[in-house]
Amino acid sequence: MGVVTKLPGREDSGKVLRPIAELPLYPLRLYNLAYYNQASLKMDNILTKTQRQQLNEDGFTILPGVLSNEQLAALKARLEELWLEEGEQAGHEVIIEPGVRRLANLINKGEIFQPLFTNLLLLEAIEIVLGPKFRLGSLNARAIPPHTDPKMPWHADTDYGGKPDKKGFYSLTVIWMLDDFTAANGGTHIVPGSHRSNTVPKEAMDDIYAPHPDELIVEGQAGDVLVMNGHCWHTGGANTTDTERRALLGHYNRADHRQQTNQQVMLSPQVQAQMNPLEREILGLNDWKITRIINPHSPLGRTLKRGLDQLRTTKQRLTQSQRPPR
Ligand SMILES: O=C(O)CCC(=O)C(=O)O
């Protein structure tokens, strides 16, 4: 089970968070699962009360032992192959981070990555934060080499200014630990509860590179998964050990927000053809393409979307009225 470490001696830096009124939290509806009749959910596929509470109150939780040793070995082997193939370009689809090994667009780069993003326990956790309709925007890898401090700033994984909108939270990050995470090797730093602050580090902190007085470091074993509200303030730590700290990073967004990378464009037709209905839904492969290109929150995007929704409703009504009576 993952543990969380409180950093000592950080009492005098950063600013105190200003919590706002509770944001809407979604009831557990397991929409995606029920919709596709996927799951005969067993008790061990259900999050514990503590995990649900942690997600809502602290903004993150850990799912222990999600990946088997065989999966871990195979995933790490595939990442090494890709790092060799892609060389200095590795990560270019999203970000090339100096001093750190990155890869991006992994759903397109091996069937081995496919089962990860529809893990039932994970979907349940995501639905608690994002509600029933969400998308995987990207699956990437990040490895902090030994004795490296990437000096990542405090941030939230959100676009459009970073704050929750009228419907609440729209971003969620998943970190699959491929090596043990420790305070010494760069376990993720998080400010618990910061997803409810309605502000982002660059606005609220004097120095987004300085330690935060309330920060925790997430520790866990290889195979554990950190699920974090994307509005939660976090940063990557420094690796002071002799071995690399590798992880997969998944960015999920509420379906009415843009994906980090457009999966309809980034996934080859062959890869798209392999996806089952649940995977297609979560990758947004059935979505209206224009909303992926035009900002759906712009006046033009909203008008186009309204028009398309009306067309869709009319088409549904026509199809229903043409069905033969039973
Ligand atoms: O690698 C980590 O622990 C955190 C990475 C992160 O925050 C990011 O890539 O935005």
What is the reported pTM?
0.81
Cβ of 245 less than 6 Å from ligand 1:
no
What is the 249 CA–ligand 1 centroid distance (Å)?
7
Distance CA 195, CA 19 (A): 9
Cβ of 188 less than 6 Å from ligand 1:
yes
Higher pLDDT, 272 or 29: 272
Quote the pLDDT of residue 160: 57
For atom 5 of ligand 1, the residue with the nearest CA is 236
**231: number of CA atoms within 13 Å, CB side?**
26
Note whether 246 and 34 are within 8 A (CB).
no
Report the alpha-carbon angle 138-212-239, nearest 5: 60
Residue among 175, 176, 217, 219 whose CB has most ligand 1 atoms within 8 A, to mutate: 175
Kindly report the number of other CB atoms within 10 A of residue 78's CB atom.
18
Residue among 106, 235, 251 whose CB has most ligand 1 atoms within 8 A, to mutate: 235
Residue among 152, 159, 178, 245 whose CB has most ligand 1 atoms within 8 A, to mutate: 152
| Position 320 confidence tier, pLDDT thresholds 50, 70, 90 | low
What is the 126 CA–ligand 1 centroid distance (Å)?
18
Closest-lying ligand 1 atom to the alpha carbon of residue 187 = 3
Distance CA 136, CA 118 (A): 10
**Amino acid letter, 76:** K
What is the 35 CA–ligand 1 centroid distance (Å)?
32
Note whether 248 and 140 are within 8 A (CB).
yes
Cβ of 234 less than 6 Å from ligand 1:
yes
Kindly state the tokens that stand for 233.
């303030």
Nearest CA to 285 out of 271, 264, 256, 254 is that of 264
Q: What is the three-class DSSP state of 179? A: coil
- State pLDDT tens for residues 95-124: 999 999 999 999 999 999 999 999 888 998
> CB within 8 A of 100, min separation 6: which ones?
142, 143, 144, 145, 148, 150, 236
What is the 237 CA–ligand 1 centroid distance (Å)?
8
Closest-lying ligand 1 atom to the alpha carbon of residue 189 = 3
Kindly state the tokens that stand for 275.
């996806």
- State pLDDT tens for residues 160-188: 567 898 899 999 999 999 999 999 999 99
- State pLDDT tens for residues 263-300: 988 999 999 999 988 899 899 998 876 545 566 666 77
Distance CA 201, CA 217 (A): 17
Note whether 168 and 23 are within 8 A (CB).
yes
Kindly state the tokens that stand for 8.
């000592």
Note whether 231 and 162 are within 8 A (CB).
yes
What is the 235 CA–ligand 1 centroid distance (Å)?
6
